[in-house]
A and B are shown apart, each in its own frame.
Chain A
Amino acid sequence: EAGVVQSPRYKIIEKKQPVAFWCNPISGHNTLYWYLQNLGQGPELLIRYENEEAVDDSQLPKDRFSAERLKGVDSTLKIQPAELGDSAVYLCASSLGRDGRLDEQYFGPGTRLTVT
């Protein structure tokens, strides 16, 4: 069974440029998460989707970040414009969605973003 797929794995951009990350969750997983991980820190949730609906986006900086999950499968996270402080690893995770209190989350390899 394929795991969570993310692309690109690495991205280097100049500040003020736009950037997009793509995630394909495990087949059959209804819940999809985007996390931000700064160096030396644990991941922090940016947004959670239940199927197509963003049910928790309270930590997403909406002035520059946006996300979508069309058809309830793949998801894209976008930053426009990027700032130096956005340099981090962006992780995507998915879970079955049967019970949000108990479901195990499975993580992708992440996209390492460097903003110069």
Chain B
Amino acid sequence: KQEVTQIPAALSVPEGENLVLNCSFTDSAIYNLQWFRQDPGKGLTSLLLIQSSQREQTSGRLNASLDKSSGRSTLYIAASQPGDSATYLCAVRAGYSTLTFGKGTMLLVSP
């Protein structure tokens, strides 16, 4: 059974810092990996989707990498802002249409 672990569970940084969120998964036979953002009381917003054949994806200040063989992904956030404060969820697709989620990293960026 696929298991997804996210470290750290919570992170507090001052504005302007670069930071890295980690995601690991137990079964490397995945189709793709997706990073989501969830604001309090809201649904999930997709940030980046990395297909299994790709090594990384970039969108603005966000960069996600994927090392499928080692079962790891990182989400790099450059020059963090208070508006980046949210919970970040990692999810892998191992089966047809099935996403397995981690528990998330709660990020707080203080001004």
A interface list, Cβ under 8 A from B: 4, 6, 31, 33, 40-45, 48, 56, 91, 93, 95, 100-110, 112
- Chain B interface residue count, CB cutoff 8 Å, equals 25
B4: chain A residues within 8 A (beta carbon): 42
| In contact, A43 and B42 (Cβ under 8 angstroms) | no
Enumerate B56-111 residues with CB–CB distance to A below 8 Å. Answer: 89, 91, 93, 96-104
| In contact, A48 and B97 (Cβ under 8 angstroms) | yes
B interface list, Cβ under 8 A from A: 4, 31-32, 34, 36, 41-46, 49, 51, 89, 91, 93, 96-104
Task: Report how far A43 CA is from B100 CA in the complex, Å.
Answer: 8
| In contact, B32 and A107 (Cβ under 8 angstroms) | no
Task: Report how far A92 CA is from B89 CA in the complex, Å.
Answer: 16
| In contact, A101 and B96 (Cβ under 8 angstroms) | yes
CB distance from B22 to the nearest CB of A (A): 15
B102: chain A residues within 8 A (beta carbon): 42
Task: Report how far A24 CA is from B103 CA in the complex, Å.
Answer: 26
| In contact, A108 and B43 (Cβ under 8 angstroms) | yes
